[in-house]
Amino acid sequence: MSSLLQTIEVNKQFGGLSAVTALNMDVQPGEIVGLIGPNGAGKTTSFNLITGVYKPTSGKVMFDGKDITGMKPHAITHLGVARTFQNIRLFKEMSVLENVLVAQHMRMGTNLLEATLRLPSYMKKERHVHERARALLDEVGLSAHEGNKATSLPYGKQRRLEIARALATEPKLLFLDEPAAGMNPQESVELMDFILKIRDQFKLTIVLIEHHMQVVMGVCKRMYVLDYGVTIAHGTPEEIQKNPKVIEAYLGVE
Amino acid sequence: MLSIKNLSVHYGGIHALRGISLDVPAGKIVTLVGANGAGKSTTLNSIMGLVKAGGGSVCWNGEEILGSPTKAIVESGIVLVPEGRRIFPNLTVDENLSLGAYARTNKDEVEADRERVFGLFPRLKERHKQKAGTFSGGEQQMLAVGRALMSKPKVLMMDEPSLGLAPLFVGMIFDIIRQINAAGVTVLLVEQNAKAALEVADTGYVMETGTIIFSGNGKDLLVDDRVRKAYLGEA
Amino acid sequence: SKPATDSDVIKIGVFEPLTGANGAGGADEYDGIKLANKLFPEILGKKVQLVAVDNKSDKVEAANAATVLAQKEKVNAVIGSWGSSLSMSGGPIFAEAKIPAVAVSATNPAVTKGNEYYFRVCFLDPFQGVVGATYAFNTLKAKKVAIIREVSNDYSVGLAKFFADEFVKLTGDQGAIVATSDYNTGDQDFSAQLTNIKKFEPDAIFAPGNYTESALIIKQARALGINAQFIGGDTWDMAAFLEVGGPAVEGAVFSTFFANDVPINKTSESFLKSFRDEYKKEPSAVSALGYDAYLVILDAIKRANSAEPQKIRDALTQTKDFEGSAGAITINAERNADKAAVFKTVKDGKFAFLTTVKPQ
Amino acid sequence: MDLQTFLQQFVNALSLGSLYALIAIGYTMVYGILRLINFAHGDVFMIGGYLAFYGVSTFLMPWWLAVCLAIVVTTVFGVGLERVAYRPLRDSPRISIMISAIGASFLIENLAIVLFDARPKAFPVSNLFAGNHVIGGVHIAAVSLIIPVVTAVLLAVLLWIVHRTKTGMAMRAVSTDIDAARLMAIDVNRIVSITFAIGSALAAIGGILWALKYPRLEPLMGIMPGLKCFIAAVVGGIGSIAGAVLGGLLLGLIELMTIAVLPELTGYKDAFAFVLLIMVLLVKPTGLLGKNQGEKV
Amino acid sequence: MNTLQKKPMSRDAMLTLGAAVIGLVLLFVFDSTFDRFTMQIFKLCAINIILALSLNLINGFTGLFSLGHAGFMAVGAYTCALLAMTPDQKATNFVLQPIAPWLLDLHLPFLPALLVSGLIAGFIGWFLGVVALRLRDDYLAIATLGFSEIIRVVLTNTQSITNGSLGLKGIPRYTTMWWAWGSAVVITLFLVLLIKSSYGRAFKSIRDNEIAAESMGVDVFGMKVLSFTISSFLAGIAGGLLAHYLTTIDPKQFIFLKTFDILLIVVLGGVGSITGSIVAAIVVTISMEALRFLDGPLNLGFMVTNGVPGLRMVFFSALLMVVVIFRQQGLMGTSEFSWDSLSRIGLLPKRGPKSGKGGE
Ligand SMILES: Nc1ncnc2c1ncn2[C@@H]1O[C@H](COP(=O)(O)OP(=O)(O)OP(=O)(O)O)[C@@H](O)[C@H]1O
Ligand SMILES: Nc1ncnc2c1ncn2[C@@H]1O[C@H](COP(=O)(O)OP(=O)(O)OP(=O)(O)O)[C@@H](O)[C@H]1O
Ligand SMILES: [Mg+2]
Ligand SMILES: [Mg+2]
């Protein structure tokens, strides 16, 4: 099977700092892949490089057979890549429902005229995206909050809203940056089930950054370990847990 | 001793602290562990007066300090090493350290303390004229700790000092915490790295979504099943 | 409220910029109007009340202010405004309300053109430009003139054009205007323009524009070693021109409406005396004109024997040889005053009368 | 253009540019610390000029006393302005603070119109500054010699304060991270007040020098110089003192030398500053000496 | 409107329709009973509403700090005036330098002229947007302010097209009550629908978090340019209406301070609230007139002061500061008028239609 995502020797430097060095990731359709490593290892930066937020200093990013290196984030999203953010980035002044609706704007394919004149063609699409948005909110258990301001939600629910919003862009590939952060152990377990469920339901491929080992080990078939921007290991959870380099750099000696 | 009662903080709609209470006895190391967003940083920031508390009290040696300006709190001997280091990147190491001693007037004592910090972190001495922004993460963390020590703290509060540090440095930071504490400074430590933190701590508090869910002796907590499962990533 | 004509007071609107960029000019005109009102507070047995609105040197405000006078205050006549463009902003509003307006010092031809209700007691820019050029050519014997104009000021641009056309005609030399430089209202540094002009070694420099900018221009020109004769227009006739310019403006000549050192008639004498008593300062030309505008309206009311706006307007068109403080006023068919221009110079830090030039 | 004309134009430009530079420094200091476009800076500048004027002409003080008093009173005024109009908004959205600055600017201008009268006043220039020198056919006004000297001296003093004193260190700390500065027991309000004091004193000096060079005062005289000097500060890289000086000089040069070379563009002079600004920003969005502060995602 | 009515009538739609009808009747009543002054102010309210709304679209809803509005207004005002004036009217204006021949005979009825002025302003907005929208925050603010000043300077200097500083006068007074309020209502409706549409959500998402918006598939740059273009288009329309309201325009009145005036309205009303902008535009426009008494002599009961010109502006700016400091979110914050909010406070049956225009 051909890879859905491939990064080829991707590098990123900030001034003198090498945040990511020679990243070679390969993700097959339907997989759930983990990305772990100490703070500042370059995990979030890797996400940013793939989703177009940063431009790689060198290297190539291939998605679904296309070279997407240096494309604008919205164009990459258009191709079917979605993400959540480590430091939550919701649309603060907008309602929970609107947050999800925005994410569908791109897929609506309306023009300004039909949207402001509310032509029947637009109203049909509008009804459709509302239905979908509500379904997604239902999925993440936020239906009751749809009219509230996004920032009024508690932390854990904000995270779920971020996921719902990302799903609304109809991605093939989903990047989750520390989705379990701020969730208690019980919620984390539920999150594992949720991730597996959406993968099947939406036919997703998922790449996951997570410090919560229980979650990562539980859902990922394969994982990459970064340290100082360098990929120090990759393999199955079992292999990773035993890898001495990983234990030294990240997991710590038990 | 520093004693916090029923402290509560809101950020707009978010109830970040829901009335937490904890004690930091003089001369001890107390640690606060918990997941991302549990409210650990908020606790420290509201003690320092950087975040406005919605209610509760913070007593320091019997005096209420909640609501005092940050300047007064620092001068009374409580010092914070903030999350993410927050060193001044455009200033040199020397200037950063001098800022730590900003409120102090006795030049000789300040110079003596500067030497002490340099003794602790020889790396800083080597590069004392360098701009702090060009430092690696570990070096920046040393500077942040050194800068805090320059203000001659009675209570040193540290917010995730091991953040972004190589394991080697992490070990070193915890050694330094022990050293500082041994010199008579009370330490309130916030850590993601719960294991290391609980190992050095006399007392540990575990936080979850704005409340303290349990507390106890550091070593006891280390072997506590709930802690092992939730925070140490051990099944 | 009841129409003013039925009541005991006659309202005269004062439509002036009391604040903003033209505030100084507006205030000077207002001084003259207030003085006239104090000396001649009644006509036809009715009290004359001044209603001042500030048009803030701003066109939108001017339109509003004019509407206040015309519609809310229902004034019988209007005096003002300093600044032709502000007058033009109010013009259509007065015309629609059929209320006569008398401009004091608005010299732009367009103010009264096509507006049956707008009059003025001063001469026009084309006239002023022509007499300026004539003076430069005949009296100053200038052959080469440079012009520096305030490009964002319609008055200045217009005057420069009328001057240039006439001067070229007089000399018969297409290149008689050796340089034309521009600056903007409020500019304070003219050194670059002046240095450029200096190269052409003109005999005279025509610099129509606001008095403060003009004074600074002359000052900077002298500092750059330019010794050419400066010629200007009526806007220089302000005490502040002397104060800002200091010794540098010594010898500058300009055309204006009125000379306070040489009273031309009885009205001038009494105006000068009362003005000095009232304000303890020398009147500027526009104060005299403001005074005259008020008197011209009163005269029209008297002749019409009515304070009805339409009747005042009709009487105004008949104004003939009215002795104003700044000379005789005859309103012509274009509702403009045929008036002589006065040339003044600066001598020993004061304005000094040079000559009078009558319209052909 | 012959050499003499060129030199004359160049001297003109330097003289104007160093005056711009002087005012731009005050702008950049305030902006660097608070990220506030202090639209009222030009009005503080105007107040400085008027105070010196009243000192000399109404209270008949010797000019040096009038100048010193004007600087002191303007400084107090600037500090007061910060207290009343900006401090209550320190943690508010940027647009609120900027509106407050615009409001303050309107208020000062309108108050000045009521108090000082809209009519321009002639600034009494002491004979000390009224002279004129001719060097090699190039005419230089005495003020034009003084201004660059004052600018250079003030630049040196400021660089010393900012880089060599404890207060300066605190200023730099506040400008990078207010909360971290608080943690150092720095009294942020005091530092901000000091910054405003310096900024206002510079504005007063600028206003007085301006009035010496262009001896005319009017309530709205600060608007255009204020805007242009802000542009100079942005062009140089906002927050950078050396950048402000560079920007000011550059602006003076561009404004006057463009006219010198292309006299037919004189009418467009007011647009040069903006064209320069936009070109610089498009090439280097943080100004010539500005530092890039990207957002970390 | 049509599409709204096609849907089955909800309570809100009926209320809205009712309010619209009452509004229409009131407008008619006002038009035939109000005096000219009141109408003049009333019309200005409508123009200010359009200006405030268009600036709010870019500053409030899209979160871009733009200070270039005066320039786009100027473009609209000049375009509309030059197109709607007859060749004769134009020729009389261009006294100094003849009008460019191609422009002389270009003549359109008011509506097409107004639309073209919007389109040209929009086009310029689009072009400048593509250039400037790479900048952010203060840098964008100062660059857009710069563009607006450049436009003004160009208008001052292109004499054969704009008549330079002389400006244009005698512009037909086409802006009747119906045109002013008609445009205001149509534009309000357009903006309400736009903001409620998917595009409106995209704009707001950029304001709230640009990086997230980009990552959610919103073409941030394209959307910014779109919002900027629409805003310029509307400013151009407002400029056109203003030209035919004032009947005279010149470049000076479009100085950048004009943008600040509009910005103040937006901020007073609440950045990001359509209702707020409308209410504030009306309140500010009316109170500027209502406070005019401050400039005249004041009777304080115990004493009568002399007129202090400028006091009104002092009072107004002080008021503004108080609002900004003590109620930072403005009158409305980001909330909008809705029928529900009325019924919640039990006011619904008694509500007048004027505020009903707010945000149906
Ligand atoms: N915009 C930026 N400018 C400069 N340096 C940056 C930028 N973004 C990231 N970095 C640096 O790149 C390095 C990697 O950061 P990154 O956020 O990718 O770490 P991470 O692995 O996601 O860590 P964490 O677990 O803390 O989220 C860090 O040293 C960080 O400071
Ligand atoms: N300035 C702020 N504005 C709004 N919400 C905030 C702010 N700072 C923190 N919060 C919220 O308050 C809650 C507690 O945050 P806090 O930073 O105290 O957590 P923490 O325990 O220190 O987490 P971490 O391990 O990530 O440092 C979180 O939900 C966070 O999103
Ligand atoms: Mg990360
Ligand atoms: Mg924290």
Ligand 2 site, residue B138, Cβ cutoff 6 A: no
- The amino acid at residue D136 is G
- For residue B33, the surrounding DSSP H or E stretch is strand B29-34
d(CA C93, CA A43): 70
pTM: 0.85
Residue E309 has a pLDDT of: 65
CB < 8 Å to D297, chain A: 44, 48, 53-54, 85
Confidence of residue E4 (pLDDT cuts 50, 70, 90): very low
Q: Is the Cβ of A209 closer than 8 Å to some Cβ of chain B?
A: no
Q: Identify which of E92, E95, E246 has the shortest CB distance to residue C89.
A: E246
Tokens of D254: 């561009």
What radius of gyration, in Å, describes the C-alpha atoms of chain A?
19
Residue E225 has a pLDDT of: 96
Query: In terms of DSSP bridges, do strands C9-16 and C77-80 run parallel, antiparallel, or are they unpaired?
Result: parallel
Ligand 2 site, residue B16, Cβ cutoff 6 A: yes
Cis geometry, peptide bond prior to residue E227 (ω within 30 degrees of 0)? no
Residue D205 has a pLDDT of: 94
Indicate whether B109 belongs to any domain: no
CA distances from A208 to A41, A215, B197 (A): 15, 10, 27
By mean pLDDT, which of C31-40, C101-110, E10-19, E280-289 is the weakest?
Answer: E10-19
The residues pairing with A8 across neighbouring beta strands, listed in sequence order, are A60
d(CA B72, CA B88): 21
Chain E touches chain B, with at least 3 Cβ pairs below 8 Å, answer: no
Indicate whether E75 belongs to any domain: yes
How far, in Å, is the centroid of ligand 1 from the Cα of B142? 19
Tokens of E231: 């805003």
Indicate whether B33 belongs to any domain: yes
Which stretches within B150-224 are classed as H helix? Answer: 167-182, 194-200, 218-223
The residues pairing with B79 across neighbouring beta strands, listed in sequence order, are B156
Residue C259 has a pLDDT of: 83
Indicate whether E16 belongs to any domain: no
Indicate whether E7 belongs to any domain: no
Q: Is the Cβ of D174 closer than 8 Å to some Cβ of chain B?
A: no
Tens digit of each residue's pLDDT (9 = 90 or more) over E24-37: 777 777 777 777 77
Q: Which domain holds residue E65?
A: 31-357
- Count of alpha carbons within 13 angstroms of residue D257, beta-carbon side: 15
Indicate whether B111 belongs to any domain: no
At residue E307, does pLDDT exceed 70?
no
Interface of E with A in 320-339 (CB under 8 A): 334
Substitution target from B99, B110, B131 for chain D, most D beta carbons within 10 A:
B99
Taking phi first (over 0 means left), then psi (-120 to 50 degrees means alpha), and beta for anything else, what does residue E5 get? Answer: alpha
Indicate whether B82 belongs to any domain: no
Torsion, Cα of E331, E336, E342, E343 (10° steps): -140
Answer for the pair E180, E39: CB distance below 8 angstroms, yes or no. no
Residue A227 has a pLDDT of: 86
Long-range contacts of A24-27 (CB under 8 A, 24+ apart): A24/A231, A25/A207, A25/A224, A27/A3, A27/A173, A27/A205, A27/A207
Q: Distance (Å) from the C-alpha of residue D71 to the closest C-alpha of chain E?
A: 25
Answer for the pair C88, C111: CB distance below 8 angstroms, yes or no. yes
d(CA A209, CA A32): 11
Indicate whether E25 belongs to any domain: no
Q: Which ligand is nearest to the CA of A18?
A: 1
- The amino acid at residue A185 is P
Q: Identify which of D173, D180, D185 has the shortest CB distance to residue B75.
A: D185
Residue predicted with more confidence, D92 or A166: A166
Q: Identify which of D8, D16, D122 has the shortest CB distance to residue C240.
A: D122
Tens digit of each residue's pLDDT (9 = 90 or more) over D156-167: 999 999 888 999
Tens digit of each residue's pLDDT (9 = 90 or more) over C95-151: 989 999 999 988 888 889 888 999 999 988 889 999 999 999 999 999 999 999 988
Q: Is the Cβ of D94 closer than 8 Å to some Cβ of chain B?
A: no
Q: Which domain holds residue B43?
A: 1-77+155-161+186-235
Residue A18 has a pLDDT of: 84
Question: What are the DSSP E strand ranges found in chain C?
Answer: 9-16, 42-43, 46-54, 77-80, 101-103, 118-120, 145-150, 177-183, 204-206, 229-232, 253-256, 322-324, 327-329, 341-347, 350-357
By mean pLDDT, which of A81-85, D1-5, E185-189 is the weakest?
Answer: D1-5
Sequence-separated (6 or more) residues with CB below 8 Å from residue B106: none
CB < 8 Å to A184, chain B: 35, 208-209, 230
* Mean pLDDT score of chain A: 87
d(CA C281, CA C279): 5
CATH number of the domain to which B18 belongs: 3.40.50.300
Per the document, the length of chain A is 254
Residue E205 has a pLDDT of: 95
Answer for the pair E281, E48: CB distance below 8 angstroms, yes or no. yes
**Residue E88: CB atoms within 10 Å:** 11
**Could you read off the pLDDT tens digit of each residue along chain C, which spans 360 residues?**
444 445 678 999 999 988 777 777 888 899 999 999 999 999 999 999 999 888 888 777 888 889 889 888 889 999 988 888 889 888 888 998 999 999 998 888 888 988 899 999 998 888 999 999 999 999 999 999 999 998 888 888 889 999 999 999 999 989 999 999 999 887 888 988 999 899 899 999 999 988 888 999 999 999 888 999 999 998 888 888 888 888 889 999 999 888 877 777 888 889 999 999 999 988 888 899 999 999 999 999 999 999 999 999 999 999 998 999 988 889 999 999 988 888 999 999 889 999 888 876
Q: Which ligand is nearest to the CA of B163?
A: 1
Q: Distance (Å) from the C-alpha of residue B154 to the closest C-alpha of chain D?
A: 14
8-state DSSP, B92: B
Confidence of residue A34 (pLDDT cuts 50, 70, 90): very high
| Chain C contact partners (≥3 CB pairs within 8 A) | D, E
CB < 8 Å to D110, chain C: 19
Q: Which ligand is nearest to the CA of A89?
A: 2
Q: Distance (Å) from the C-alpha of residue D265 to the closest C-alpha of chain C?
A: 8
Residue E344 has a pLDDT of: 57
What total of structural domains would you count in chain B? 1
d(CA C229, CA C182): 18
Where do we find the tokens 């020397």? B94
Chain A touches chain B, with at least 3 Cβ pairs below 8 Å, answer: yes
Contact C189 D267 (CB under 8 A): no
- The amino acid at residue A129 is V
Q: Which residues of E52-69 are buried (b: 16+ CB within 10 A; e: fewer)?
A: bbbbbbbbbbbbbbbbbb
Residue C6 has a pLDDT of: 52
Tens digit of each residue's pLDDT (9 = 90 or more) over B131-158: 887 776 677 888 999 999 998 899 999 9
Q: Distance (Å) from the C-alpha of residue D178 to the closest C-alpha of chain B?
A: 10
Tens digit of each residue's pLDDT (9 = 90 or more) over B179-205: 999 989 999 999 877 778 888 999 999
Residue predicted with more confidence, E33 or E211: E211
Sequence-separated (6 or more) residues with CB below 8 Å from residue D62: none
Confidence of residue E341 (pLDDT cuts 50, 70, 90): low
Tens digit of each residue's pLDDT (9 = 90 or more) over E326-335: 877 777 676 7
End-to-end CA distance of chain B: 37
Domains of chain A: 1-80+171-254 (3.40.50.300), 91-161 (no CATH)
Q: Is the Cβ of D177 closer than 8 Å to some Cβ of chain B?
A: yes
Torsion, Cα of B114, B116, B122, B128 (10° steps): 0
Confidence of residue B128 (pLDDT cuts 50, 70, 90): confident
Indicate whether B180 belongs to any domain: no
**Percent of chain B predicted with pLDDT > 70:** 91
Confidence of residue D117 (pLDDT cuts 50, 70, 90): confident
Give φ, ψ of B196 to 5 degrees. -60, -40
Query: In 3-state terms, chain D is what percent helix, strand and coil (to 5)?
Result: 75, 5, 20
Q: SS3 sequence, chain E?
A: CHHHHHCCCCHHHHHHHHHHHHHHHHHHHHHHHCCHHHHHHHHHHHHHHHHHHHHHHHHHHCCCCCCCHHHHHHHHHHHHHHHHCCHHHHHHHCCCCCCCHHHHCCCCCHHHHHHHHHHHHHHHHHHHHHHHCCCCHHHHHHHHHHHHHHHHHHHHHCHHHHCHHHCEECCCCCCCHHHHHHHHHHHHHHHHHHHHCHHHHHHHHHHHCHHHHHHCCCCHHHHHHHHHHHHHHHHHHHHHHHHHHHCEECHHHHCCHHHHHHHHHHHHHCCCCHHHHHHHHHHHHHHHHHHHHHHCCCECCCCECCCCCCHHHHHHHHHHHHHHHHCCCCCCCCCCCCHHHHHHCCCHHHCCCCHHHCCC
How far, in Å, is the centroid of ligand 3 from the Cα of E253? 52
Torsion, Cα of A95, A97, A102, A107 (10° steps): -170
Residue predicted with more confidence, E360 or B74: B74
Average pLDDT estimate for E192-196: 91
Indicate whether B91 belongs to any domain: no
Q: Give residues (CB < 6 A) around ligand 1.
A: A 14, 17, 19, 37, 39-45, 86; D 294, 296
Contact B151 D172 (CB under 8 A): no
Helices D41-57, D3-34: axis angle to 10 degrees equals 110
At residue E82, does pLDDT exceed 90?
yes
How far, in Å, is the centroid of ligand 2 from the Cα of B16? 7
Indicate whether E18 belongs to any domain: no
Rounded to the nearest angstrom, the gap between the alpha carbon of residue E221 and the centroid of all alpha carbons in its chain is: 24
Of all residues in chain C, the one with the smallest CA distance to D267 is: C182
Q: SS3 sequence, chain A?
A: CCCCEEEEEEEEEECCEEEEEEECCEECCCCEEEEECCCCCCHHHHHHHHCCCCCCCEEEEEECCEECCCCCHHHHHHHCEEECCCCCCCCCCCEHHHHHHHHHHHHHCCCHHHHHCCCHHHHHHHHHHHHHHHHHHHHCCCHHHCCCEHHHCCHHHHHHHHHHHHHHCCCCEEEEECCCCCCCHHHHHHHHHHHHHHHHHCCCEEEEECCCHHHHHHHCCEEEEEECCEEEEEECHHHHHHCHHHHHHHHCCC
CB < 8 Å to E165, chain C: 150-154, 156-157
The residues pairing with B9 across neighbouring beta strands, listed in sequence order, are B17
At residue A135, does pLDDT exceed 90?
yes
- Count of alpha carbons within 13 angstroms of residue D182, beta-carbon side: 16
Tokens of D79: 């500090």
Contact D179 B50 (CB under 8 A): yes
* Mean pLDDT score of chain B: 86
Pocket test for ligand 2, best of B32, B40, B44 (most atoms within 8 A of CB): B40
Q: Ligand 2: which residue has its CA nearest to atom 16?
A: B39
Residue E3 has a pLDDT of: 41
Pocket test for ligand 2, best of B8, B10, B11 (most atoms within 8 A of CB): B11
d(CA D183, CA D209): 40
| ipTM greater than 0.95 | no
Contact A254 B165 (CB under 8 A): no
What total of structural domains would you count in chain E? 1
Tokens of D268: 């467009």
Q: Which atom of ligand 1 is nearest to the CA of B137?
A: 29
Tens digit of each residue's pLDDT (9 = 90 or more) over C40-72: 999 999 999 999 888 888 777 888 889 889 888
Of D266, B124, E212, the closest CA to residue A94 belongs to: E212
Contact E325 D275 (CB under 8 A): no
Indicate whether B150 belongs to any domain: no
Indicate whether B147 belongs to any domain: no
